[in-house]
Amino acid sequence: MSKTPSPLVSLIPILILVGMLFATIKTFGSDALNGGSQLSLLATTASCILIGMVFYRIPWKNYEKAITDNITGVATSIIILLIIGALSGIWMLSGIVPTLIYYGMQIIHPSFFLASTCLICILVSLMTGSSWTTIATIGIALLGIGKAQGFNESWIAGAIISGAYFGDKVSPLSETTILAASVTETPLFRHIRYMMITTIPSIVIALILFVLLGFSTDTHSVQHIQEVALHLEQRFTITPWLLIVPLVTAILIARKVPSIITLSISTILACIAAAIFQPEVLREVAGEESLFKGMMMGCYGSTSLSTASPALSELVATRGMAGMMNTVWLILCAMCFGGALTASGMLKSLMNVFIRFMKTRVSLVSSTVCSGLFMNLATADQYISIILTGNMFGEVYRKEGYDSSLLSRTTEDAVTVTSPLIPWNTCGMTQATILNVPTLAYLPYCFFNLLSPLMSIFIAAIGYKIARRPKAEIHPAEVEELAA
């Protein structure tokens, strides 16, 4: 029997996962992340390992190493996720987010709110290079503003994620941008410039759709917005001094301070701000006079505050680091599944199916897009997906005479921006947790994320500025190979 599973056999764990997740979500609904989805991933991992060990004699140590490597690779992301949980909690209790909401409601016109939200997230994400940081900070504030103005939270989340992932995709500070360029051996700024051919049209169309959506929405009246502002003033101390914390955070980001350090400093500053400006809020959270206890609980636990508006009470409720634990658990289980697929050879077997269809430029790009999407689905991690897609298609693009920038661009169009659209992907889980909006609820409104892979195929189909390798870089042996 072959040592490598066939594509049909390799599909078995994927089908098991899809079936189990479908049954889990149908049974538990929004509570699926409380354990059902994690068990589905672990059960699928077990089936993958069982097939590999029993029928293909793949030793356990191979699986153990692959799973360990996968988990090691996301260790930093898990730490960032936990810090974001603390930051989002204390930013709310300190009054930073309420202050941003208070002033934002008075500045952003409701008709242009969704488009403005997308543009603001683009700017922040370009500066930070991180969609996660953008969504966890300004994204939460914009979500509060939009809900106060009467917008559906799924629409707001779609605008936030569209803008955040545009910046994440093209920022020279972004890890995914650097990774895609590195894996495909493309100079970073050549990669960024070439991405603009597909990225700019996608975001322009997305902004037009957000403008149309904004004008077609019956938003709350000015009186209602004033009422929300009044309730915020009654519950929190609203002052421009609180904006110092976001300003310091932006400066640290601009100076390229590592994300963990930046988020940690921002959290500490927010704790200090909470003690100075919101002592009564901290005492209410603690249930006693201890400000320290209130700060700690705001960072690690769930909190709720009573306000004159039930909707506002729901908005200012926080979950802290503890609210991220289901996501952390899910990420670990997803990494186990991705490691099992890799160690068994099933992932490579499935990728070979895509390679067989590469006969024209359009089929080459389409296969890369489909492969990137499949990687996001199968490995549940954008970093792993970028690495595997870049490595597996690099030789094909080289032999076909295409410049590496075409592969790097297509990889980002297919992987980076689609990762938050998959419920069990690390990005999908994280953004759904941070915004408290289910992945499948915001998915239809992430216009930029949906358009990007389609735009990549469309540009390939019309043949606009398809980069070829310079003749000086092609070895004579390769010319003979291409001719053959």
CB of 147 within 8 A of CB of 311? yes
Choose among 298, 236, 294, 241: nearest CA to 267.
298
Strand, coil or helix: 422: coil
> CA separation (Å) from 54 to 10, 47, 127?
14, 11, 50
DSSP string of 26-59, one letter each residue: HHHGGGGGGTHHHHHHHHHHHHHHHHHHHHS---
Query: For residue 356, what are the β-bridge partners?
Result: none
Do 133 and 263 touch, CB atoms closer than 8 A? yes
Mean pLDDT of each 10-residue bin along the chain, 484 residues long: 78 84 74 80 92 91 90 80 84 86 74 87 77 81 81 92 91 77 80 90 95 77 67 87 89 79 90 93 88 92 80 75 82 83 84 72 87 81 77 77 87 91 84 88 94 93 76 49 42
Residue with tokens 């310079």: 470
CA angle 290, 295, 299 (to 5 degrees): 150
Q: How many CB atoms lie within 10 A of CB 475?
A: 8
Other CB atoms closer than 10 Å to residue 311's CB: what's the count? 11
Q: Are 186 and 405 in contact (CB under 8 A)?
A: yes
Read off the amino acid at residue 410.
T
User: Tokens 């186990």, residue?
Assistant: 336
Bridge partner list, 402: 468
The pLDDT score that the predictor gives to residue 30 is 58
Instruction: List the structure tokens of 297.
Output: 């609980």
What is each CA distance from 89 to 276, 319, 404, in whole angstroms?
17, 6, 43
- pLDDT the model gives residue 430: 82
pLDDT computed for residue 135 by the predictor:
87
Q: Rounded CA gap, 50 and 458, in Å?
A: 41
Q: What is the pLDDT of residue 1?
A: 45
Cα–Cα distance, 209 to 225 (Å, whole number): 24
- Those residues whose C-beta lies under 8 Å from the C-beta of residue 278, and which sit 6 or more positions away, are 93, 94, 95, 236, 237
Token pair recorded at residue 452 = 């990007």
DSSP string across 64-103? HHHHHHHHHHTHHHHHHHHHHHHHHHHHHHTTHHHHHHHH
Q: What is the pLDDT of residue 162?
A: 95
Alpha-carbon torsion, ordered 474, 480, 481, 484, to 10 deg = 140
